[in-house]
Amino acid sequence: MQPVVERFLRYIKIDTESARKSDTYPSTLKQLDLAKLLTEELKALGLADATTDKNGYVTATLPANIEYEHIPVVGLLAHMDTSPDLSGKDVNPQFVENYDGGTVILNAEKGITMSPEEFPDLKKYIGKTLITTDGTTLLGADDKAGIAEIMTAIAYLLDHPEIKHGTIKIGFTPDEEVGSGVDFFDVEKFGADFAYTVDGGEVGEVQFENFNAAGAELIIHGRNVHPGKAKLKMRNALLIGMELNDLLPVFERPEFTEKYEGFFHIYQFGGTVEEASMAYIIRDHDREKFEAKKALLESAVRFMNEKYGDEVIELTLEEQYYNMREQVEPHPQIMQTAIEAIKAVGLTPKIDPVRGGTDGSRLSYMGLPTPNIFTGGHYGHGKYEFIPTFAMEKAVEVLVKLAELIAQN
């Protein structure tokens, strides 16, 4: 078994699911279990400054083994948490060796399968070895594959001093999946000139664009009256929420969008006749379209409040992150070097927009331009998540080559 796969299997056994509503940082203290392990492993590799700080950030430095001046300091980052959309506890990975292109049985007892008709990315990996879930949890490739790839690349560079490289800063962050991964990250102390997140994406992908993002929470105030005497008196908060949702464009939902198309995504809705709550995320790569989507939701809320005669709906709308393109594009060499590294290991670069966000999107606006390099994972945040082992191996090769190229440029 390849070292990167061994590391990955070790890391996914640790439950690091983050939480959207929390009074602590990290949002779940169990993320510190992985932080502690990674700090110990980094120290065992010989990175003496490896540490976990009070906020759960794991950082370490691989010193340069070349004395040329003006070699930029590069950061490599990945996040430790897994999505709260599905449990990350008791992950039981399965290996599908020499995948034949057919339906993958994830859990025979529960009848959970994954067919290439529904999940077409499977067809790209005929003949490869896949790591899948057992249908009861997510896998954790998002982003423990990124952590395993960075750790393996660092170990390889230490074992091969003939590969010359500059100073490399390593950072593993909590809470990326809930949008607060770099809330307390000290860019100046980290000390990198630029960085790359290693977070998601199929083999060969490199990304410098992501969504502009906002979150919306709505409280709907109803009026409950005995249904037998409710005529012209009852105000059903659940029905009002459904009516509001119908004011938003149907085909601007995640299930109908791709590439550069943005969306409104309702991910939580519940309550009673008396009071209900809804939660949305709003996404678009284009800043003007993003602002228009926020304005549309606000106008829908105003309309509902005017219709029902008082403040029936309370809206809280918060900015989350912005498209990193505005911050990365002025530094074209960062992307050029990543593309060159991908080509150097025999892959075809795929420059696709991130249909989501990474820590890099916020770091880029904090003064650290940080595009994203693939891990090889697919269908994250759910039970259909999988990753080909060869993609992880290629990611390690890319990171090693990246370090070498940065020292040469």
Active site residues: 81, 176
265 within 8 A of 253, measured Cβ to Cβ? yes
> How far is residue 275's CA from residue 139's CA, in Å, rounded to a whole number?
36
Question: Mind giving me the DSSP string for 44-89?
Answer: HHT-TT-EE-TT--EEEEE--S---TTPPPEEEEEE--B-TTS--S
Q: What DSSP element (H or E) covers 144?
A: helix 141-159
> How far is residue 253's CA from residue 258's CA, in Å, rounded to a whole number?
10
- Residue written as tokens 């790591």? 131
> How far is residue 409's CA from residue 406's CA, in Å, rounded to a whole number?
5
What tokens does 3 get? Answer: 């070292």
| Contacts made by residues 8-11, CB under 8 angstroms, sequence distance 24+ | 8/131, 8/141, 8/144, 8/145, 8/148, 8/387, 8/392, 9/93, 10/37, 11/37, 11/140, 11/144, 11/147, 11/148
> How far is residue 380's CA from residue 139's CA, in Å, rounded to a whole number?
8
What tokens does 22 get? Answer: 């929390």
What tokens does 88 get? Answer: 């990350």
274 within 8 A of 181, measured Cβ to Cβ? no
Q: What DSSP element (H or E) covers 395?
A: helix 389-408
Task: Please tell me the number of Cα atoms within 13 Å of 159 on its side-chain side.
Answer: 9
